[in-house]
Amino acid sequence: MDPLPQKADVVIIGGGVMGLSTAYNLVKRGAKDVVVIERDEFFGQESTGKCAGGIRHQFSSKVNIELSKLSIGIMEHFEEEFDQPIDLNFCGYLFVMASEELVPRFQKNVELQRSLGIETEWLTTRDILKKVPILNVEDIVAGTFYGRDGLADPSSVVQGYVKMAHRLGARLVTDTTVTGISVEKGKITAVETDKGIVETHVVVNATGAWSKEIGRLVGVDIPILPYRRQIAVTAPMDEIPQDLPMVVEYPNGLYFHRESGGLLTGMSNPNEKPDYDTTVDSDWMMSSLDALMHRLPVAEKASLRTFWAGLYEITPDAHPIMGKMPEPEGFYCVAGFSGHGFMHGPGAGVLIAEEILDGRAHTVDIDRLRYERFLKPGAMEREQNVI
């Protein structure tokens, strides 16, 4: 798109939802000379473009619920602010539990969600069946549902950020790979790329599953690992109701939602090892389709239309790493959203812009998400509702 500048006030590495949302929020607030560097030919083609589009408030940690409230609030007004429809659909998220052991944990989550204004309902199997009569609930013990959870279209969100960030003056550079970061006396001085050098004192690492590699360029160990996750989409089927919520099953992590009249489905393979491999594992695909047919017997009639694999960017506690890094000076991180970054991208951009322009994020307290938590024993609290 734009040529690589020789100088910038802020260089954002990575043009997925995190990098683009950060760029937009910086220029919206008046920052000058903001550049996003993306190595692909187009923006939003990696994890952001391969995700399932789910947006939800049903998390187990306060900070993730706060990030959802901020981000989903932005999505509600996205079309007005960006002149870009994003297929926002508040179809709700229905979590179903296939084990009694999960009940106390989910009860605690619902209590926390309610204390933060998220009116999640507790459902018996009878309630679940009333909501989604085509579900097989024979081995389900309970469920939770929140109607302001749902879906949005990732490529439209990316498109909105690209359009408005560019209109407000951000320079958006594609086909360019960051290969080095120069540091002098503990301060960032430049970013090196395969197309040239950009002098800058501020760098934002928004490279998702590749964040560890960017950390290595400045000698910082960023604990984010890439894990393959797969999705299958079926052809349209008359049996899939218009108002089907996003259904998520625990403990196996199966999920599905209505997509173009058919189903979009996935399930996390607990034996996946960290790797950048995004070829489709057909054995695992079969296992996940078996799980789908068990939970939703009408899926037996489905024919597969397409499938793909992408990468989750997972941290040890399944929470992102956000904010100013302890070193070098001028280094920021917004990555490691552990499978729920699409929905948190809009809010994360607001917060990183505050961190850079105001010295500290203030709309949501992100102290709990700072890198320093990995340096203090006992400072991590795991997010339980990871799919």
Ligand X SMILES: Cc1cc2nc3c(=O)[nH]c(=O)nc-3n(C[C@H](O)[C@H](O)[C@H](O)COP(=O)(O)OP(=O)(O)OC[C@H]3O[C@@H](n4cnc5c(N)ncnc54)[C@H](O)[C@@H]3O)c2cc1C
For ligand X, the binding residues (CB under 6 A) are 13-19, 37-40, 45-48, 50-54, 177-178, 206-210, 229, 231, 266, 310-313, 335, 337, 339-343
Closest approach of ligand X to the CB of residue 337, in Å:
4
Q: How far is the CB of 12 from ligand X (least distance, A)?
A: 9
CB of 43 to ligand X, least distance (A): 7
Ranges of beta strands (E only) in the chain are: 10-13, 34-37, 54-55, 93-97, 121-123, 142-146, 150-151, 171-173, 178-184, 187-193, 196-199, 203-205, 225-234, 246-250, 255-259, 262-266, 304-314, 321-324, 331-335
When the beta carbons of 128 and 233 are compared against ligand X, the nearer one is 233
**Under DSSP, is residue 271 helix (H, G, I), strand (E, B) or coil?**
coil
137 vs 323 by CB, closer to ligand X = 323
- Smaller CB distance to ligand X: residue 143 or 347? 347
Contacts of 88 by beta carbon, 8 Å cutoff, 6+ apart? 75, 76, 78, 79, 150, 151, 152
Q: How far is the CB of 378 from ligand X (least distance, A)?
A: 26
Integer Cα distance of 181 and 197 in angstroms = 9
Closer Cβ to ligand X, 106 or 255, answer by number: 255
CB of 158 to ligand X, least distance (A): 8
Nearer to ligand X, 82 or 210 (CB): 210
Min CB(130)–ligand X separation in Å? 25
DSSP one-letter string for 47-116: GGGGS--EE----SSHHHHHHHHHHHHHHHTHHHHHT-----B---EEEEES-GGGHHHHHHHHHHHHHT
In angstroms, give the least distance from the CB of 100 to ligand X: 27
CB closer to ligand X out of 47 and 315: 47
| 3-class secondary structure, 134 | coil
What amino acid is encoded at 295 in this protein?
Answer: R
Task: State which residue, 137 or 173, has the beta carbon closest to ligand X.
Answer: 173
* CA–CA gap between residue 144 and residue 102 (Å, rounded): 12
Distance (Å, rounded) from C-alpha 293 to C-alpha 304?
13
Q: At what angle do helices 154-167 and 341-358 cross, to 10 degrees?
A: 20
Task: Choose between 106 and 312: whose C-beta lies nearer to ligand X.
Answer: 312
HSE-CB at 196 with a 13 A cutoff on CA atoms is 9
The least distance separating ligand X from the CB of residue 139, rounded to whole angstroms, comes to 25
Q: Which whole-number Å values give the CA distances from 345 to 25, 28, 46, 237, in the listed order?
A: 11, 16, 14, 32
